[in-house]
Amino acid sequence: MTIATPIDPDAAWAAFDARDRAQDGRFVVAVATTGIYCKPSCPARHPKRENVAFYRDGAEARAAGYRACRRCKPDDVARDRVAVAAAVARIAASEAAIPLDELAAAVGYAPHHFHRLFKRATGVTPAAYARGLRAARVGEALRAEDSVTAAIYEAGYAAPSRFYDDGARRLGMSPSAWARGGAGVTIRWTIADTSLGQLMIAATDKGLCRVAFDEDPLALARQFPAAEIVAGGEALAGLAARVVAEVETPGRDPDLPLDVRGTAFQEAVWQVLRTIPPGETRSYGELAAAAGSPGAVRAAGSACGANRVAVVIPCHRVQRGDGSPGGYAWGLARKAALQARERER
């Protein structure tokens, strides 16, 4: 038998007081003076602390004599999550793109409402999610298939032209190059000295693909064994100088070009990271909520860990909800230094 973890009333009240969307669906807040229960992010005026009780879900609150808030509709949270999960499963199981109206009808929602709901939950639209899934399948199939055309069909595209419309753009290089470990692609690199240590900077002709402290070009060779990996020279000098400047004065150059790829959710998290103003921080819960998946706190942390470009995608601006620094791939001392520099600005 599984024993449920007790609700921490102080933590629950803090989440309710902050209207933390990341906690929606994890508990409900019952108000004795009104007889209603709400989700943690309810926008209504807050009651006094002594008039509040916390329950695991709406069923518990109703059993205690409360009714659902008509403003925040706490019972819809679980229903919405089930619908999004069902839609994701349908998208993953389908070889062809599913029209929005068909997808929404299958899970019992109006198309426009479900479009907003899906984007809020995943960070992307249903169509973008499907494109990202197909592009990921292409990457896997290209590694396994001898024929590029066969890999494209295996990934669920109706014709090669459809892949070139979006898949090739997401991969950042031609499919044949991807299949051959980056063959035909030139990745330029340099090692730059910064006040926080040596920094490897690497870029394709599209933008930065790797920025990492204490790393050497062998990491690039492992990822793209057939790519032409060359010293950057003058071709990379200008871009490298901008990256070094970003380390010394974080936040001064938000438009550095990137050539990085991840899952749809990872890319949504990276986009949110680049919108956090220099000098400010967000919790992993706030990051997940801003990326459209309030419950995906661990996944948001994993997306930060998968960040390939230090400082440029500023995952140093994220910390735990209790104010502790959390993790950082390039060392907590560097994370603290970058945050301090931004606060000084």
Nearest-angstrom CA–CA distance, 320 and 326: 5
Paired with 71 in beta bridges are: none
- How many angstroms from the chain centroid is the CA of residue 240? 26
Question: Do residues 53 and 30 make contact, with C-beta atoms less than 8 angstroms apart?
Answer: yes
Question: Do residues 83 and 109 make contact, with C-beta atoms less than 8 angstroms apart?
Answer: yes
- How many angstroms from the chain centroid is the CA of residue 76? 24
Burial label for 195, CB within 10 Å (0-12, 13-18, 19+), is exposed
Q: Phi-psi category of 330—alpha, beta or left, where left has phi over 0 and alpha has psi -120 to 50?
A: alpha
- For residue 55 the two structure tokens come to 């329950």
In the set 38, 69, 72, 304, the catalytic residue is 38
Nearest-angstrom CA–CA distance, 180 and 178: 5
In the set 69, 72, 304, 315, the catalytic residue is 315
Nearest-angstrom CA–CA distance, 77 and 293: 12
In the block, residue with structure tokens 């950042």: 172
Question: Do residues 259 and 172 make contact, with C-beta atoms less than 8 angstroms apart?
Answer: yes
Active-site residue, 38 included: yes
Nearest-angstrom CA–CA distance, 241 and 173: 25
- What is the DSSP secondary structure assignment for residue 49, as one 8-state letter? G
Nearest-angstrom CA–CA distance, 67 and 65: 7
Question: Do residues 21 and 36 make contact, with C-beta atoms less than 8 angstroms apart?
Answer: no
Q: Single out the residue of 75, 80, 106, 112 nearest to residue 91, CA to CA.
A: 106
Q: List phi, psi (to 5°) of 282.
A: -130, 150
Catalytic residues: 38, 315
